[in-house]
Amino acid sequence: MGFFFEVLIGGLLSGVMYSFVALGFVLIYKASGVFNFAQGAMVFAAALTFVGFQELGVPFWLALLLAFAVMVVLGILTERIVLRPLVNQPPITLFMATIGLTYVIEGLAQGVWGANVRGLELGIQDEPIQWLLEATDIGVSKFDLFGAGVAALLVTLLALFFQYTRIGRALRAVADDHQAALSIGIPLQNIWRIVWAVAGFVALVAGLIWGARNGVQFALTFTALKALPVLILGGFTSIPGAIVGGLIIGSTEKLAEVYLGGYVGGGIDSWFPYVMALAFLLIRPEGLFGEKHIDRV
């Protein structure tokens, strides 16, 4: 039983990591209706930029700030060059454009910083918490717990930002109805720039946590692929959905790998979340927390 809980907790905590990336998707989707496939590339680019600056001898906090600045610039450029000319295009066109954006960001980031794998040190070890292991025989990684804590903090910050600031209110208005928001004088393009900047920040945090765990490497872009089933499960428009979806995907994925993987030769975590999300979609096409859509004729 202890083993079951260890797997479950490990899964839940790694699910939090998926939620990080999913969160970036949700932010952009909510505000601009764009399904931003490039979120994974942004995670990669952010982490790589941070490490790159550190390698140049820039201290931790300044590197963090510089990486954030780069992500903001990236967001603004994306809004200006990609999104603005594509306003009013079908969502699927915008989605394909973000696939293109993915390639551009990956190419740029590797072109500037190089493609070799780097370590990233946040000062927290990926080892079980000793007293918990001794007391309950359940191994919980310190690092995973730290990641979960950061996630909780981030979600709280975002919630406060959306709820209580003027920009947050404008963001929610834009998410509800672009036209209506425009008509009461909310500058749509500013809002989009801010959202992309915030998504860039979320990508940076995700990139640091993921990068510290697995090394800063190209594989970080695949975090986007991990986040997609989370989104399907949680719905594209819901921040709690991203968190709950992440927890569900993370835990079932690990449990499935441990308890089912043996029968089929392992490695099922590449597709299991997708198949699960798919099965779920067939029952509830709008996701756990998504809004139901009725076709009108």
Contacts to another protein by CB under 8 A: 35, 81-82, 85-86, 89, 91-93, 95-97, 99-108, 110-111, 115, 225, 228-229, 231-232, 264-268, 270-271, 274-275, 277-278, 281-282, 285, 294-295, 297
Q: Which is nearer to another protein, 4 or 103 (CB)?
A: 103
Minimum CB separation from another protein for residue 182, in Å? Answer: 21
Minimum CB separation from another protein for residue 171, in Å? Answer: 22
| Contact call for residues 23 and 202 (beta carbons, < 8 A) | yes
Minimum CB separation from another protein for residue 245, in Å? Answer: 12
**What's the CA gap between 22 and 28, in Å, rounded?**
10
Q: Where are the alpha helices (DSSP H) in 260-292?
A: 261-264, 272-283
| Contact call for residues 140 and 126 (beta carbons, < 8 A) | no
Q: Specify which residues 12 forms β-bridges with.
A: none
Q: Which is nearer to another protein, 59 or 285 (CB)?
A: 285
DSSP structural state of residue 84: G
Both tokens of residue 80? 């200006």
Instruction: Tell me the CA distances in angstroms from 115 to 48, 57, 70, 220, one per residue in order.
Output: 9, 19, 18, 12
Q: Which is nearer to another protein, 138 or 230 (CB)?
A: 230
**What's the CA gap between 292 and 219, in Å, rounded?**
35
Q: Which is nearer to another protein, 59 or 266 (CB)?
A: 266
Minimum CB separation from another protein for residue 30, in Å? Answer: 15
Q: Which is nearer to another protein, 124 or 281 (CB)?
A: 281
| Contact call for residues 227 and 18 (beta carbons, < 8 A) | yes
Kindly give the interhelix angle for 166-176 and 2-32, rounded to the nearest 10 degrees: 80
Minimum CB separation from another protein for residue 221, in Å? Answer: 11
Minimum CB separation from another protein for residue 89, in Å? Answer: 8
Minimum CB separation from another protein for residue 109, in Å? Answer: 9
Instruction: Give one DSSP letter per residue of 214-226, joined into a string.
Output: H-BSGGGGGHHHH
Q: Which is nearer to another protein, 29 or 201 (CB)?
A: 29
Q: Which is nearer to another protein, 162 or 196 (CB)?
A: 196
Element (H, E) at 288: none
